[in-house]
């Protein structure tokens, strides 16, 4: 270096470095200690971060303590580098999902097959099954690992159009899979999800003879065992959980279960039950909780506090791990750590309450545009699994109350009918066609996370002025805070039509979704597009490793390829730590 360059004044160095790109600036940092101290100044990297990613100077630092580390997080740790491209099914693939520990991932294909792969570098095929001959399937639709990663459910379509769910066990010692049982799944859009490591939730639809003032159909939600008794062959043991009343031909779709039950919703449900017993409306019962002398804003705040106090009596307690249940504490939305802690596995959590989430619409032929929520009582599920447990269901209590009341015949008849069905506890209209729903994988963080990611498209949906700026076929990933049942900031940048079924994926500091032209990776905290995952003919699904998000797998809808994407940090061996480009 020429004499004097290493001793340039700080102000002059800052002025020079402000005109270079991030790659050159990273190299200048390695000149000497003085240049390193100046080159890592927040003013330089903050401007580069705004220019290359967020485009908004209103953004504040959210993950790391320095802007250079924030830039490295998106540039160096995001899974946007293609490392492997595997050719699988010529008919195309349909879905991909990771195990919760990030050790394996499973892909499903349109030739009715599924494969389990190791999440190593390179990836290896662990086992595979073709279900066209063994189960009479036409194609496989989706897959999901159990919470302990010892079981796998696969949904598919049989020849003839009916849906079915097959469950398999994963032998860790022999690294092989074994067939357990199967469950009907009609209509196909209902889907299935794990309740715990041994039971799943599934559903079916029962239509009324005609559309009545009460409703048009009932969606039955079942809890099904993954083990099948010998006397019933390979069919699962099923027990009814809910009979959700549908109106105008709509029905439950894309069911999923959250371990997080919002205290505010729980309190409202309990308050509504008390109001029904006292023959009062929910509004009048809620007004009794607060003083009428308060202002409107003070009333709202006081009512929220009182409702959450009511819900505290319904919470299940864990004697061995009380710290895992601090769901009411204020928690930072974004954790600084790159890995997420797994949930408590003690047996007492089997009876914890869950939150059933499903999509619904206005009619049989219209795509769903609403997200509905229903609290699942853990004690009720324990009674369904073990009938010896003494538990009075809500239907039984309703029925007994109805018989004890001296009502007119028509009212009593309607009460008797309504006591046999269930209604959602809360419904949110997203005002767009719902393509898929995903719970944040840090559901298993402590305390439980409370975010639902809803992949939607505004294609052919009646637009309001709120969405007039969106381009044709532009998708949106809406984020619902389950604690408050309100929308957070959305993710934009991918493309989808109303006929697509795209789930999104969350892992570490990143969010991913399939798109008509491939896939997209966003920063979870900054909501900006980090990279694209191209596929000829589009991607059917994208999955992120739930542990730290450093690996992504995308499957092609028509090209039949499985593409493995990794972060530069995991594949590049660099000599100088700051040369990260």
HEC profile for 427-469?
EEECCCEEEEEEECHHHHCCCCCCEEEEEEECCCCCCCHHHCC
pLDDT digits (tens, 9 = 90+) for 115-148: 999 998 889 999 999 999 989 999 999 999 998 8
Residues with Cβ within 8 Å of residue 65, at least 6 apart in sequence: none
d(CA 347, CA 218): 33
Contact in structure between 118 and 98 (CB atoms under 8 Å): no
**pLDDT bucket at 64, cuts 50 / 70 / 90:** confident
pLDDT digits (tens, 9 = 90+) for 298-310: 777 877 787 777 7
- pLDDT greater than 90 at residue 542: yes
pLDDT digits (tens, 9 = 90+) for 85-123: 999 888 889 999 999 889 999 999 999 999 999 998 889
pLDDT digits (tens, 9 = 90+) for 143-163: 999 988 999 999 999 998 899
- pLDDT greater than 60 at residue 328: no
Note the CATH architecture for domain 5-76.
Up-down Bundle (1.20)
> What is the token pair recorded at 473?
């076929």
Of 449 and 184, more confident:
184
Q: What kind of fold does domain 81-260+353-571 have according to CATH?
A: Methylamine Dehydrogenase; Chain H (2.130.10)
pLDDT digits (tens, 9 = 90+) for 204-219: 998 887 767 777 889 9
Least confident of 228-237, 280-289, 398-407, 416-425: 398-407
Model pTM?
A: 0.84
Mean pLDDT over the full length of the chain: 80
Beta strands in 281-425 (DSSP E): 354-360, 370-376
Per-residue pLDDT, 441: 65
Map out the domains of the chain as residue ranges: 5-76, 81-260+353-571, 264-326
- pLDDT greater than 80 at residue 563: yes
pLDDT digits (tens, 9 = 90+) for 459-506: 766 655 555 545 556 788 999 999 889 999 888 888 887 777 888 999
Per-residue pLDDT, 579: 42
Element of type H or E holding 264:
helix 263-277
How many C-beta atoms lie closer than 10 Å to residue 499's C-beta?
11
Per-residue pLDDT, 288: 79
Question: Measured between alpha carbons, how far is residue 457 from residues 176, 369, 471, 514, 539 in Å?
Answer: 39, 10, 11, 12, 16
């Amino acid at each position: 270096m020429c004499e004097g360059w290493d001793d340039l004044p700080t102000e002059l160095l800052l002025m020079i470095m402000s005109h270079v790109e991030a790659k050159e600036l990273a190299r200048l940092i390695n000149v000497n200690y003085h240049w390193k101290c100046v080159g890592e100044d927040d003013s330089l990297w903050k401007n580069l971060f705004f220019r290359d990613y967020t485009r908004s100077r209103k953004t504040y630092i959210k993950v790391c303590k320095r802007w250079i580390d924030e830039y490295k997080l998106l540039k160096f740790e995001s899974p946007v580098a293609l490392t492997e491209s595997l050719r699988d099914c010529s008919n195309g693939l349909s879905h991909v999902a990771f195990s919760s520990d990030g050790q394996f991932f499973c892909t499903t294909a349109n030739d009715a097959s599924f494969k389990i792969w190791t999440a190593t570098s390179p990836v290896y095929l662990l086992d595979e099954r073709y279900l066209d001959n063994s189960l009479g399937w036409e194609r496989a639709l989706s897959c999901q690992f159990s919470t302990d990663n010892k079981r796998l459910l696969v949904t598919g379509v049989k020849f003839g159009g009916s849906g079915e769910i097959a469950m398999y066990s994963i032998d860790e010692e022999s690294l092989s899979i074994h067939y357990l049982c199967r469950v009907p799944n009609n209509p196909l859009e209902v889907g299935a999800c794990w309740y715990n490591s041994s039971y799943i939730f599934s559903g079916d639809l029962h239509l009324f003879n005609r559309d009545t003032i009460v409703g048009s159909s009932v969606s039955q939600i079942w809890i099904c065992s993954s083990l099948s008794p010998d006397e019933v062959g390979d069919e699962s043991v099923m027990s009814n959980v809910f009979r959700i009343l549908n109106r105008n031909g709509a029905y439950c779709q894309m069911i999923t279960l959250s371990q997080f039950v919002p205290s505010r919703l729980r309190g409202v449900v309990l308050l509504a039950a008390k109001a029904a017993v006292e023959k009062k409306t929910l509004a009048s019962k809620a007004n009794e909780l607060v003083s009428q002398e308060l202002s409107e804003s003070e009333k709202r705040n006081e009512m929220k506090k009182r409702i959450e106090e009511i819900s505290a009596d319904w919470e299940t307690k864990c004697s061995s791990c009380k710290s895992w249940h601090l769901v009411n504490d204020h928690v930072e939305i974004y954790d600084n750590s790159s890995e997420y802690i797994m949930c408590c596995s003690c047996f007492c959590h089997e009876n914890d309450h869950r939150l059933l989430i499903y999509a619904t619409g206005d009619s049989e032929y219209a795509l769903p545009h609403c997200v509905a929520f229903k609290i699942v009582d853990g004690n009720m599920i324990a009674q369904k699994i073990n009938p010896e447990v003494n538990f009075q269901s809500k239907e039984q209590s309703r029925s007994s109350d109805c018989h004890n009341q001296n009502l007119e015949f028509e009212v009593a008849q309607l009460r008797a009918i309504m006591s046999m069905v269930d209604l959602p506890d809360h419904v949110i209209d997203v005002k767009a066609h719902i393509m898929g729903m995903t719970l944040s994988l840090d559901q298993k963080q402590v305390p439980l996370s409370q975010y639902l990611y809803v992949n939607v498209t505004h294609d052919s949906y009646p637009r309001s002025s709120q969405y007039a700026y969106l381009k044709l076929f532009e998708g949106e990933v809406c984020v619902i805070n389950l604690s408050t049942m309100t929308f957070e900031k959305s993710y934009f940048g991918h493309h989808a039509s109303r006929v697509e079924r795209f789930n999104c994926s969350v892992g570490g500091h990143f969010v991913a979704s399939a798109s008509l032209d491939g896939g997209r990776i966003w920063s979870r905290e900054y909501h900006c597009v980090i990279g694209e995952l191209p596929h000829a003919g589009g991607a059917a699904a994208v999955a992120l490793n739930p542990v730290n998000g450093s690996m992504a797998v995308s499957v092609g809808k028509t090209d039949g390829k499985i593409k493995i994407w990794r972060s530069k940090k995991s594949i590049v061996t660099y000599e100088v730590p700051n040369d990260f480009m």
